[in-house]
Structure 1
Amino acid sequence: MMGQLSSGQERLFYSFNIEDHIPANHLLRNIDRCLDLSDLRHYLADFYSPIGRPSIDPELMIRLLIVGYCYGIRSERRLCEEAHLNLAYRWFCRLSLEDEVPNHSTFSKNRHGRFRDSSLFRWLFNEVLRRCMDAGLVKGEGFAVDASVIKADASRQRGVPGNEEINWSDPSLSTRAVREYLEALDEEALAEALPKRLSLTDPLSRWTAAPGGPAFFAYSTNYLIDVEHGVIMDVEPTPAHRTAEVESTKTMIERVEEHFDIKPDRLIGDTAYGTAPMLAWMVDEKEIEPHVPVWDKTERKNKSLSISDFQWSEKAQEYRCPTGHALRSEWRAFKNQRSHVTKADTIIFRSRQTDCSKCSMKERCCPNTSFRKIARSVHEAARNVARRIAATPQYVCSRHERKKVEMLFAHLKRILKLDRLRLRGMTGANDEFTLAAAVQNLRRLAKLTSQGPPATG
């Protein structure tokens, strides 16, 4: 017999418990077991007035934001609508069927106020990371670092050439992102790295075509992860520029060492992190093994002799060519001693013109010049350390482990839907990247702890 929906209300009262309708293996239930916000109110106590009308519970707003990032709900207006309808979201946020969901404008008000003033999202990230460490998901032996470009909330049409004069006092440009740019503006640094185009909407974003295709304004999110289980140890926003991305590695490693007393034995990265100054920082200052390809533009692709064909003598501080002739930084003594260090932090070693003119290998060595010269980095010792490590089996293993960072970026963009920022300015990028990284760690913690304790070995 065909059934039929009943029409009208049959009962005035219902016995309903949200707890009974949330599956035991639901993602939010697993995350809730791992999330501890008991210290949140104490942490924010100094940023709330002791008198006046009670505010919305900050834990409720944090839980709502976690839901939004977990399920890729980028709009806070839509997040509030979904939380009103979804039983699992209500359960996770400790809302009963009768409780009202906060208005979406509440998030903006608190984000630009007490949340940023208190660095709340950084506190949340650190708390989640501590729980990952307590669960045994962080080994601390090997870290990997990488950056991923995220589009800024800035239109291409609102960009101007970088060398164009701009009237920043124009009222139409008086936005939070512009004020942040002007406060952080360093004229000397700006002159050294003048961007090709500048966004009038979000001036701190960087014009880039790094991913391929048409250029756009963007920021970079930089991840430092522990390769044991892919836990994010730190996150740092930068403009989408290679130099800024590499320098952020120092900030992240030192911050992890300061807050958690953890310093890795080895650091894994791609060629961008293999510059001579960066390798020297890892080897000489931090005593970290650089599992990084050396950034080397000296090797020649034709049949002429490369630097590797010359033998270096540490004792004599000179190179020897294949025919035995010397290349030195100076061939005569100067009254005033010279360092011979160039602006590029290199020392130029030159051969004698008389030696090269009679050499049988001149056409392979220096066919277009009268003598051969070699630029040796002042950090060549650190570069040699990286080259020796690159010949070890552990380096091959590190190359495979580095893919865990790229997997996190793919998860960030495809699952969490963070392929374009909603907030502007460096603080906006910092808020989004930090909260997203905290949620990724929460998801990893919930997944691994629900499967039992990680294997040790």
Structure 2
Amino acid sequence: MMGRQASGQDRLFYSFNLEDHIPQNHLLRGIDRCLDFAGLREHLAEHYSQIGRPSIDPELMLRMLVVGYCYGIRSERRLCEELHLNLAYRWFCRLSLEDAVPDHSTFSKNRHGRFRDSGVFRWLFDEVVRRCMAAGLVKAEGFAVDASIVEADASSQRGVAGTESVDWKDPALSTRAVREYLEGLDAEALGKVLPKKISLTDPQASWTAATGGPAFFAYSTNYLIDAEHGVIMDVQATPAHRTAEVESTKLMVDRVQEQFGLKPERLIGDTAYGTAPMLSWMVDEKGIEPHVPVWDRTQRDDGTLSSNEFTWDEQAKEYTCPQGRPLRSQWRVFKIERSHITKADTVIYRASQQDCANCPEKQRCCPTTPMRKIVRSVHEAARDVGRKIATTEQYERSRCQRKKVEMLFAHLKRILRLDRLRLRGLSGAMDEFTMAAAVQNLRRLAMRVPQGPPTQGTATPA
């Protein structure tokens, strides 16, 4: 017999417990056990007035943002709608069935105001990292670093050539992102190098075609992760420019050391991080093993002798060719001592023209020049350390561990759906990247430690 559903919506009273309707293995239950907002109000105290009407609880807004980033709900308006309908979201945000959901406009007011001024997103990220450390997910023996490009909220049609004059005082261009850009020009003289194209809506975004397709305005999110379990130790937003990405590594390593007292024994990265100055910073300044491919263009592919076939004499500060002839930075004594260091931080070593003219190997060494010369970086010793490490088995394991960063970027864009920013300006990109990284750590922590990390103290890294 065909059944018929009885009408059950006309009852006056219901017995309903929200706790009973959330599965014990629900992701938000695990995240809730890993979150601790005990110090939130103390952190934000000076940014709230002591008088006036009580504001919306900042913990509620942060919990709502965690839900949004966790489930890829990018629209704040849609997030409020989903929170109104979804029981699990309500439970996680500590809202009963009768409680009203905050208006979506509240997020904009707080994000661009007290949340940004107080650095609450960075505070939340650091607290999550400490919870990961307490759970034993941070070994701190090896860190991996990489960057990924994320499209900015800026149309390519609203861009002008970098050489074109722009009246930034035009009221139509007076936006928060433009003001941040102009402040950056005054503080850091960013205008020394003219970009190829500037966005009129988000001028701090970089015009890039690094992905191999059509060019677009973008920012880069830079991750520094622990190589053991893939916990994100730090995150930094930069314009989509290779130099800025590499330099952000120094900031992140120093910040992790300052915040958590951790410094890795080895740093894993791709070839972009294998430049001579970067290797020198790792080896000479920080005492970190560089597990990165050395950026080396000295190897010749035309059949002639490469510079690695010449012997370097550290005491004499000169090279010796395979025929036993020296290559020196100077062949005569100057009254005023010269360093011979070029603007590129290199020293050029030249052979004697007479030695090369009478050498039987000249056609294999310098067939098109009267003498052989070798350009040596002032950081060549650090490059040699990198080359030596590249021959070890640990280096091969590090190459495999580097993929964990790329997996996190894939998760960021495909699962969390952060393939295009919603906030403008470098500060907006930083807010979004920091929240997304905190949520990625929370998801990992909830899945690896279902019972939640210890509530007291911080575990010592293994």
Shift of 1:49: 0.7
Instruction: Give the whole-Å Cα distance in 2 for the aligned partners of 1:100 and 1:322.
Output: 81
**Residue aligning to 2:414:** 414
Shift of 1:296: 1.0
Q: Give the unaligned 5+ runs of structure 2.
A: 454-458
Per-residue CA deviations over 1:175-228 (Å, capped at 9, x if unaligned) read: 110000000015985454321111111000001111111010000000000011
- State the Cα RMSD in Å: 1.5
**Residue aligning to 1:247:** 247
Q: Map 1:274-353 onto structure 2 (within 5 A).
A: 274-353=274-353
Letter in 1 for 2:95: L
Q: Map 1:214-233 onto structure 2 (within 5 A).
A: 214-233=214-233
Contact between 2:276 and 2:382, CA under 8 Å: does it hold in 1?
yes
**Residue aligning to 1:71:** 71
**What SS is found at the alignment partner of 1:450?**
coil
**What SS is found at the alignment partner of 2:90?**
helix
Contact between 2:83 and 2:90, CA under 8 Å: does it hold in 1?
yes
1:256 aligned onto 2:245: no
Q: TM-score, normalised to structure 2's length? A: 0.97
Contact between 2:30 and 2:451, CA under 8 Å: does it hold in 1?
no
Instruction: Give the whole-Å Cα distance in 2 for the aligned partners of 1:147 and 1:308.
Output: 31
Contact between 2:33 and 2:451, CA under 8 Å: does it hold in 1?
no
Letter in 2 for 1:338: R
Poorly superposed stretches of 4+, deviation over 4 Å: 186-189, 451-454
Greater CA drift, 182-191 or 41-50:
182-191
Instruction: Give the whole-Å Cα distance in 2 for the aligned partners of 1:9 and 1:220.
Output: 51
Shift of 1:397: 0.5
**Residue aligning to 1:207:** 207
Instruction: Give the whole-Å Cα distance in 1 for the aligned partners of 2:405 and 2:300.
Output: 32
**Residue aligning to 1:389:** 389
Instruction: Give the whole-Å Cα distance in 2 for the aligned partners of 1:259 and 1:213.
Output: 39
**Residue aligning to 2:380:** 380
**Residue aligning to 1:437:** 437
**Residue aligning to 1:48:** 48
Per-residue CA deviations over 1:157-181 (Å, capped at 9, x if unaligned) read: 0111111111111111111100000
**What SS is found at the alignment partner of 2:342?**
coil
**Residue aligning to 1:2:** 2
Shift of 1:4: 1.1
Per-residue CA deviations over 1:115-158 (Å, capped at 9, x if unaligned) read: 01100000000000000000000011100000000000000001
Per-residue CA deviations over 1:51-104 (Å, capped at 9, x if unaligned) read: 100110000000000000000000000000000000000000000000000000
Shift of 1:7: 3.6
**What SS is found at the alignment partner of 2:225?**
strand
Letter in 1 for 2:442: L
Per-residue CA deviations over 1:333-374 (Å, capped at 9, x if unaligned) read: 000000000000000000111111111211121111111111
Alpha-carbon distance change, 452 to 436 in structure 1, aligned in 2, over 3 angstroms: closer
**What SS is found at the alignment partner of 1:144?**
strand
Shift of 1:17: 0.7
Instruction: Give the whole-Å Cα distance in 1 for the aligned partners of 2:375 and 2:324.
Output: 19
**Residue aligning to 2:114:** 114
Shift of 1:451: 7.8
Letter in 2 for 1:128: V
**Residue aligning to 2:171:** 171
Letter in 2 for 1:133: M
Using the aligned pairs only, state the percent identity: 74
Letter in 1 for 2:220: S
Shift of 1:6: 2.3
Instruction: Give the whole-Å Cα distance in 1 for the aligned partners of 2:147 and 2:305.
Output: 35
**Residue aligning to 2:80:** 80
**Residue aligning to 2:456:** none
Letter in 2 for 1:246: V
Contact between 2:142 and 2:226, CA under 8 Å: does it hold in 1?
yes
Contact between 2:446 and 2:452, CA under 8 Å: does it hold in 1?
no
Instruction: Give the whole-Å Cα distance in 1 for the aligned partners of 2:163 and 2:329.
Output: 40
Greater CA drift, 318-327 or 141-150:
318-327
Letter in 2 for 1:424: R
Instruction: Give the whole-Å Cα distance in 2 for the aligned partners of 1:188 and 1:303.
Output: 46
**What SS is found at the alignment partner of 1:33?**
helix
**Residue aligning to 2:446:** 446
What count of residue pairs does the alignment treat as equivalent?
456
Per-residue CA deviations over 1:284-304 (Å, capped at 9, x if unaligned) read: 110000001111122112211
Instruction: Give the whole-Å Cα distance in 1 for the aligned partners of 2:211 and 2:311.
Output: 39
Shift of 1:323: 1.2
Instruction: Give the whole-Å Cα distance in 2 for the aligned partners of 1:60 and 1:217.
Output: 33
**Residue aligning to 1:196:** 196
Shift of 1:230: 0.3
Greater relative CO, 1 or 2 (CA 8 Å, sep 6+): 2
Q: Map 1:107-146 onto structure 2 (within 5 A).
A: 107-146=107-146
**What SS is found at the alignment partner of 1:285?**
helix
Instruction: Give the whole-Å Cα distance in 2 for the aligned partners of 1:3 and 1:54.
Output: 52
**What SS is found at the alignment partner of 2:449?**
helix
**Residue aligning to 1:158:** 158
Instruction: Give the whole-Å Cα distance in 2 for the aligned partners of 1:450 and 1:197.
Output: 48
Letter in 2 for 1:360: P
Instruction: Give the whole-Å Cα distance in 1 for the aligned partners of 2:121 and 2:99.
Output: 25
Instruction: Give the whole-Å Cα distance in 2 for the aligned partners of 1:451 and 1:21.
Output: 19
Q: Give the unaligned 5+ runs of structure 1.
A: none
**What SS is found at the alignment partner of 2:115?**
helix
Letter in 2 for 1:290: P
